[in-house]
Amino acid sequence: MSEPVRVIAAGELADADPTPGMRRQRAIDVTGLWSGLVHTEPGATSGWHHHGDHETSLYVVSGAMRLEFGTGGQEVVDAGPGDFIHVPAGVVHRESNPTQQVATAVIARAGTGTPTVNVEGPDAAVAGER
């Protein structure tokens, strides 16, 4: 028998996967799927990190998100309310909020293993790549 459908109420989300400058809240963590919310304070910049073998999709609900990635962190994308962001597995990046309001996004990840790996900088090697 399969598991029943369930609702995870807003007050039931658990703090998860800390990265400096961001607050992640986990709603669902089952084999192959992780979902939740991320909140980034105005002017905050996260630490550098990647999501292991997880493909990550973000949907920006409010505020704005800027992602830096690539060699030296020189590539940049900006997204606002209604935009989706795809972060491929293993891509080292950091998020920031260039606005004066809290940025909130819904996160969905597909993969296994540790969902967030904090690293020293944009050129940090992802395990298994170098």
Domains of the chain: 22-117 (2.60.120.10)
Q: Is the pLDDT of residue 130 over 80?
A: no
Dig out the tokens for 102 from the structure. Answer: 């809290």
User: Is this prediction's pTM over 0.85?
Assistant: no
Mean pLDDT of the chain: 90
Predicted confidence (pLDDT) at residue 127 exceeds the cutoff of 70: no
SS3 content of the chain, % helix, strand, coil (to 5): 5, 50, 50
pLDDT at 81 over 80: yes
